[in-house]
Structure 1
Amino acid sequence: MSNPISASSEVVMHFTIKLSDGSAADSTKVNGKPAKFRMGDGSLTDNFEKCLLGLSSGEQKSFVLEPQDAFGEPNPDNIYHVDRAKFADELPEEGAVMLFEQPNGSEIPGIIRAVAGDSVTVDFNHPLAGQTLTFEVEIIEVRD
């Protein structure tokens, strides 16, 4: 019998994130590569980690997280109006996700929300912000 997940465990698991309509937003099973992380390393929200505590390898569980417990509520400060000229010849389409370079050279994804005249509205909130989500997890391995 494997150890149950504790606050400092290293966990290997498959997960599927489902939207309220039942469609899958993300799943590690698509590419067959499970997620690997250490509890408390910041890759998961505290509330998500609390749902995993006590599970052991081989267990499967499904739980629902409200927006504030998953990816948060959308922040209006993360929505920007960008000059269309910055897109060169590539006219962005509404709903498209594009990478934008930060001043420090890193890239951040943004969702194109609107294109009007010379202004492009870009939303840098997490795509799943504001959504109530169902997480289905399958624990593969637990190490302390």
Structure 2
Amino acid sequence: MPNMPSILCHMNILLEDGSTADSTRASGKPVRFNLGDESLSPAFESEIKGLKQGDKHSFTLQPEDAFGVSNPDAIHHMDKSRFPTDLTLEPGVIVSFAGPGGSEIPGIVREVLGDSVTVDLNHPLAGQVLTFELEVEQVLEQ
């Protein structure tokens, strides 16, 4: 298998309404994409393949080519007593759950009805049509 490059770039992720969902500029830390390691969807990889240092590229992906479609099995109804009493439970609040191997899984509170809290463990950008704006800082040959 030939060596595949990595691309170091700044990225903005825009929602369909044009608002910014995420930006590496805020942290000042560019993101690294490794081509050919199957960490990227084929559609995303085909958009960035061949980019060079200094290139600016913008493209839009459907949910299945970005962060996936929203999985109804990842939406859970939990009892309010399972949450810290000092946590304000309201739609949009992000809560963290212990995942396998000590990892953290973020969940978004979707609804609070009485003692029932609906938590969505899908990626926050799942199910969204997204526009990616990339500015290539560096191309790294592996």
Instruction: Please give the residue correspondences for 1:1-144 in structure 2 after superposition, counting only pairs within 5 Å.
Output: 8-89=4-85, 90-102=87-99, 104-144=101-141
Assess, with a 3 A threshold, how the Cα gap between structure 1 residues 33 and 73 changes in structure 2: closer, same or farther: same
Q: Which runs of 4+ in 1 moved over 6 A?
A: none
Q: Matched residues in 1 for 2:67 and 2:124: separation?
A: 9
Question: Which piece of structure 1 moves more, 126-135 or 7-16?
Answer: 7-16
Assess, with a 3 A threshold, how the Cα gap between structure 1 residues 104 and 31 changes in structure 2: closer, same or farther: closer
Asked whether the equivalents of residues 71 and 130 of structure 1 are also in contact (C-alpha less than 8 Å), the reply is yes
- List gaps (5 residues or longer) in structure 2: none
Identity %: 51
Assess, with a 3 A threshold, how the Cα gap between structure 1 residues 7 and 52 changes in structure 2: closer, same or farther: farther
Q: TM-score, normalised by structure 1?
A: 0.89
Q: Matched residues in 1 for 2:4 and 2:66: separation?
A: 20
Asked whether the equivalents of residues 7 and 53 of structure 1 are also in contact (C-alpha less than 8 Å), the reply is no
Aligned length: 139
Q: Give the match's secondary structure for 2:28.
A: coil
Structure with a larger share of its residues in helix: 2
- List gaps (5 residues or longer) in structure 1: 1-5
Q: Matched residues in 1 for 2:3 and 2:78: separation?
A: 42
Q: Matched residues in 1 for 2:19 and 2:39: separation?
A: 23
Give 1:130 shift: 1.0
Give 1:11 shift: 1.4
Aligned-pair Cα RMSD in Å:
1.7
Q: Matched residues in 1 for 2:132 and 2:100: separation?
A: 34
Q: TM-score, normalised by structure 2?
A: 0.90
